Structure 1
Amino acid sequence: MDELIDILDSEGKPTGKTAMKSEAHRKGWFHPTVHIWLYTANGRLLLQQRARTKDIHPLLWDVSVAGHIGAGEAIEISAIREIQEEIGLTVPPEALEKIGVFKSMQKPSDELMDYEFHHTFLCELKEPLHHLKKQESEVEDLKLISLIQFSQETWGLANLGKYVPHSIEYYKTVIKEIKKRL
């Protein structure tokens, strides 16, 4: 789905310009996104398998919930909206814990430059997996995986081709922040 988004400079600062997401991806313009990692009290992480119809990294496993921040939309409102849309879960704003903003530059093809600043949150998942309702156009599958297994599979990027290729630093930060909360 194409949507109007804010354009950022290479340092993540607003430029005052907006564009359609498709144009930003075609021209390699930086823009803001939200990433929400959901974890359980017993050390499991909710992963989302990206839909097979996605332009970027179809069928790879990724962050629990992610999405673009609409033009002029508050970051936390975007995070709450994306959680509701992608997995059918209503989360209050106070359940979100921001752990940082991460610059990401991926170029899956000559026509597609995905340059983003991920506003990244953690949120404890208190609902069982079978209560979640995946958005078919975005999400192929959902699963819970132990934090230990996820750590082993992402820190050394041992499973290239299974996970979206975020930086090792990004994955390490997410894992360390979740461990602090267990």
Structure 2
Amino acid sequence: MAEEMIDILNSDGTPAGYSRGRTEVHAKGLWHRTVHIWAFDKNGRIVFQQRSHLKENNPNLLDTSCAGHITAGDNSRNAAIRELSEEMGVHKRPEDLEYLFEATHENVLNNKTYFDNEYYDTYKITLSDDEAAHLVPQPGEVDDFIWMTPAEFLEELAKLPEKFVSHPKDYAWIKSLQIMQK
């Protein structure tokens, strides 16, 4: 199977005009685009994925509901729909996604051998009761799903931040939800 190709960005987020394989992207710290999708149930609970224990980065940690790279030539909405299907077994339409914001993230992992420099589009989606009850974790990517209210998440994050993949901009957004609910 051919390695996933990813469009490369300049550090200011503009297209660099070429693509590279995922391995090279992270070995060299090339800027690229990804998506984060936060899935909620009708009661306002958020589903967090527990990353697979087999993952190269952040194994066993709690993370966004689902996320992934935007394949070369694709766009963020299509990538988000693909990731929902692959990682959660949820089938949605691009118009079902609520665009929230774009953010950047720079991270050095795995003893300074993996560089993750990304611009990411963040989306929110609401799952039906049936979808929420029948999530299907993608083997090798997701071990489990954990439901929390925004308040429960923020409390857990304050007590045990090491349980979560670090996404400060996403977490600030969740905190703003909690403030609005008060």
Q: Tell me if structure 1 keeps the 8 A contact 2:150–2:174.
A: no
Asked if residue 136 in structure 1 is aligned to residue 135 in structure 2, the reply is no
Say if 1:34 and 1:68, in contact at 8 Å, map to a contact too: yes
Return the alpha-carbon distance in structure 1 between the equivalents of residues 71 and 31 of structure 2: 13
1:150 aligns with 2:153: yes
Partners of 2:7 and 2:72 within 8 A in 1? yes
Match for residue 35 of structure 2? 34
1:56 and 1:164, CA in 2 relative to 1: closer, same or farther beyond 3 A?
A: same
Shift of residue 126 of structure 1? 1.4
The CA distance in 2 between the partners of 1:138 and 1:96, in whole Å, is 22
SS of alignment partner, residue 24 of structure 2: helix
Q: Distance in 1 between matches of 2:78 and 2:180?
A: 25
Superposition deviation, residue 34 in structure 1: 0.6
* TM-score (ref. length: structure 2): 0.90
Matching of residues 70-149 of structure 1 within 5 Å: 70-108=71-109, 109-128=111-130, 129-149=132-152
Match of 1:145, as an amino acid?
M
SS in 2 for 1:132: coil
Shift of 1:130: 3.4
5+ unaligned residues in a row in structure 2: which ranges?
Answer: none
> 2 CA distance for matches of 1:96 and 1:179?
23
Greater displacement, 59-68 / 125-134? 125-134
State the AA in 2 paired with 1:171.
Y
The residue type paired with residue 44 of structure 1 is R
Question: Are the aligned partners of 1:99 and 1:177 in contact in 2 as well (CA < 8 Å)?
Answer: no
Residues 67 and 83, structure 2, Cα contact 8 Å, conserved in 1:
yes
* SS, match of residue 80 in structure 2: helix
| Equivalent position SS for 2:57 | coil
1:175–1:121 CA distance, 2 compared to 1 (3 A): farther
- Structure 1 unaligned residues grouped into runs of 5+: none
Counterpart of 1:171 in structure 2 is 171
AA paired with 2:172?
K
Taking the aligned partners of 1:84 and 1:57, their CA distance within structure 2 comes to 22
Aligned counterpart, 2:68:
67
SS in 1 for 2:161: coil
The Cα shift of 1:91 comes to 0.8
CA shift, 1:177, in A, is 5.1
Residue 6 and residue 99 in structure 1: after superposition, are their counterparts in 2 closer, same or farther (change >3 A)?
same
* Matched pairs, number: 178
What letter is aligned with 1:159? L
Give the TM-score taking structure 1 as reference length.
0.90
CA RMSD of aligned residues (A): 1.9
Instruction: Among all aligned residue pairs of Structure 1 and Structure 2, give the percentage whose two residues are the same amino acid.
Output: 36
Kindly provide the CA deviation profile for residues 105-154 of structure 1, in whole angstroms up to 9, marking residues without a partner as x.
01013211011111100001213443111101110111211111112233
